[in-house]
Amino acid sequence: MGKRILVVDDDDNVRESIRTLLKKEGYTIKTAKSTTDAWETLSKWRADLIILDILFPGENIKEFVKKVDKRSASKILYLSVFAHSAAEDLGYIELSENVLGYIEKPFSIPNLLKKVKTAFAS
């Protein structure tokens, strides 16, 4: 069985694009449209990696990451329209040992695949 990835993004097109791409690469994929849905999925299914959009209206990404840190061994890659430094400066992201990197939107397929492969190599 391939590595297990949970893609969390409120944009249906982004979720489906990443799901389709990574499934073709042999990964087992689940998707969620909110952190609430993501946590429900994680309560029943272990993800090796979470690809997490950092902007969800009305949701606290930092709290979700803290919860993952405490209760899950999943690693996290952030996904955002902001540059990494801007996201940090704006306080959108929670830094932790489980956060392995950052993917800027719009992302290129080679960059996404490289980040995912690097995440599993660490």
Chain centroid to Cα 38, Å, comes to 10
Hey, how many other C-beta atoms are within 10 angstroms of the C-beta on 10? 16
Token look-up 């209760």 returns: 71
CA triple 43-11-1, angle to 5 deg = 45
Q: How many domains does the chain have?
A: 1
Distance (Å, whole) CA 95 – CA 98? 8
* pTM recorded for the entire structure: 0.89
Which domain covers residue 62, as residue numbers? 4-121
pLDDT value at residue 50:
96
How are strands ordered across the β-sheet holding 28-32? 28-32, 4-8, 49-53, 75-80, 99-104
Q: What is the CATH number of the domain that holds 80?
A: 3.40.50.2300
pLDDT tens string 35-64: 999 999 999 999 999 999 988 777 788 888
pLDDT tier for residue 88 given thresholds of 50, 70 and 90: low
